[in-house]
């Protein structure tokens, strides 16, 4: 009698282990075999991208992706923009839902300022989400791969990628730099940093949102409103005899970092290089006076001068200057 009871209990335990439990498993809590299976597919996918192997690339995609994308063109684009020999896992999630079509909302582990939420509608009951980063630490691309379980196979339902870090920093990290510049009274620097932060907000479109997004957008509005009120464009440099007018100011990204780029209109003939240079020396002094902190920790300030501000569809002849700043700035 005792033996029969033990056998019955064992059968119940075996059955319970095979139940398709719903829930979300993240990072170290994901089943090891599934992790290995997805890693193998990710490796296979990147190898196909590097080798421009459309057959292998197409094999990994779900039917919905294959129906809505030109596989040859998509792979060719990826081959030139996402070719990488290595990647690392930012985070990964395995979700089992009660039914297909559920909306999955994935909450990151505590990543300090870079905490995020990922959100998508899952056509399958079971999905596996890989959030990957390319190996370039200074200019990391974020890759979102959402696999769906089709029978016994995993196929990619969502494949998105975009800039996650620019020159070593993410959107929330540029937001923090902008706040620091603002507190110093360096409005131009605050404007540059928050502009870059906004450009990095959605590396994989609306599937991914930093938790600080609302704060970043509010601060952007605040900084831009103050900057536009204090320095309305076009801005005439009244202390320069020729009265040049600044009509655009943007951060310019280079291999050394990003630096202010200012565009202005001069009354001096664009072909009179000597006179333009003399004027630019005075412009630089006035810019330093007007925009407090603009030279702080900067290698360069770029200037483009023209005889008229370019209208839509019209290109004005320009002359460029690079102000190379001392290392102490």
Other CB atoms within a 10 A radius of the CB of residue 141 amount to 20
Identify the segments of the chain with pLDDT beneath 70: 1-20, 312-313, 327-329
Question: What count of Cα atoms within 13 Å lies in the side-chain half-sphere of residue 262?
Answer: 27
User: What is the SS3 assignment for 94?
Assistant: strand
Q: What is the distance between the alpha carbons of residues 45 and 61, in angstroms, rounded to a whole number?
A: 10
Q: What is the distance between the alpha carbons of residues 265 and 243, in angstroms, rounded to a whole number?
A: 9
Residue 11 pLDDT: 37
Annotate 248-264 with DSSP letters as a single string.
Answer: EEEEEEETTEEEEEEEE
pLDDT digits (tens, 9 = 90+) for 153-206: 999 999 999 999 999 999 999 999 999 999 999 999 999 999 999 999 999 999
Residue 15 pLDDT: 37
Q: What is the distance between the alpha carbons of residues 250 and 14, in angstroms, rounded to a whole number?
A: 64
CA 51 to chain centre: 25
Q: Kindly give, in sequence order, each residue whose CB lies less than 8 Å from that of residue 324, ignoring residues fewer than 6 positions away.
A: 299, 300
DSSP annotation of 27 = G
Q: What is the CATH number of domain 22-163?
A: 3.10.450
Residue 275 host element (H or E): helix 273-290
Residue 238 host element (H or E): none
> Which residue spans within the chain are E strands per DSSP?
23-26, 87-96, 103-107, 116-121, 126-134, 141-150, 153-163, 203-206, 208-210, 235-236, 245-254, 257-265, 300-306, 318-324
Residue 66 pLDDT: 92
Q: Under a CB-based contact definition with an 8 Å cutoff, are residues 210 and 216 in contact?
A: yes
What number of residues does the chain have? 329
Torsion of CA 97, 100, 60, 117, to 10 degrees: -50
Q: Looking at beta carbons, which pairs linking 271-275 to residues 24 or more positions away fall under 8 Å?
A: 273/319
pTM: 0.86
Q: Under a CB-based contact definition with an 8 Å cutoff, are residues 257 and 191 in contact?
A: no
Q: What is the distance between the alpha carbons of residues 231 and 272, in angstroms, rounded to a whole number?
A: 29
Q: What is the distance between the alpha carbons of residues 31 and 35, in angstroms, rounded to a whole number?
A: 6
- The CA-CA-CA angle for residues 40, 124, 151, to 5°, reads 60
Q: Under a CB-based contact definition with an 8 Å cutoff, are residues 162 and 173 in contact?
A: no
Delimit the domains of the chain by residue range.
22-163, 171-230, 235-324
The strands making up 235-236's β-sheet, listed across from edge to edge, are 235-236, 245-254, 257-265, 300-306, 318-324
């Amino acid at each position: 009698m005792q033996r029969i009871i033990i056998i019955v209990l064992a059968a119940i335990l075996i059955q319970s282990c095979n139940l398709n439990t719903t829930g979300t498993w993240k990072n170290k809590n994901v089943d090891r075999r599934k992790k290995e299976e997805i890693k193998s597919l990710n490796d296979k996918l990147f190898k196909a991208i590097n080798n421009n192997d459309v057959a292998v690339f197409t094999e990994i995609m779900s039917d919905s992706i294959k129906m809505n994308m030109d596989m040859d063109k998509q792979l060719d684009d990826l081959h030139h923009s996402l070719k990488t020999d290595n990647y690392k896992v930012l985070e990964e999630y395995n979700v089992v839902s009660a039914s297909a079509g559920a909306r999955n909302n994935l909450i990151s582990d505590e990543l300090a300022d870079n905490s995020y939420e990922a959100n998508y509608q899952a056509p399958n009951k079971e999905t596996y989400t890989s959030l990957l980063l390319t190996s370039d630490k200074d200019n990391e691309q974020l890759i979102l791969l959402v696999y769906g379980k089709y029978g016994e196979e995993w196929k990619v339902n969502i494949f998105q990628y975009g800039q996650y870090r620019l020159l070593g920093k993410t959107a929330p990290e540029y937001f923090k730099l902008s706040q620091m510049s603002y507190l110093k009274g360096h409005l131009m620097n605050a404007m540059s940093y928050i502009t870059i932060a906004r450009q990095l907000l959605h590396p994989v479109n609306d599937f991914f949102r930093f938790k600080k997004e609302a704060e970043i957008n509010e601060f952007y509005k605040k900084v831009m409103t103050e900057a536009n009120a204090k320095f309305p464009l076009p801005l005439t440099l009244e202390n320069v005899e020729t009265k040049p007018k600044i009509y655009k100011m943007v951060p310019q990204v280079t291999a050394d970092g990003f630096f202010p780029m200012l565009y202005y209109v001069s009354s001096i003939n664009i072909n009179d290089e000597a006179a333009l240079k003399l004027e630019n020396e005075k412009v630089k002094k006035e810019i330093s006076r007007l925009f407090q902190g603009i030279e702080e920790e900067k290698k360069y300030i770029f200037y483009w001068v023209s005889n008229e501000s370019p209208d839509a569809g019209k290109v004005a002849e320009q002359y460029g200057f690079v102000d190379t700043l001392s290392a102490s700035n």
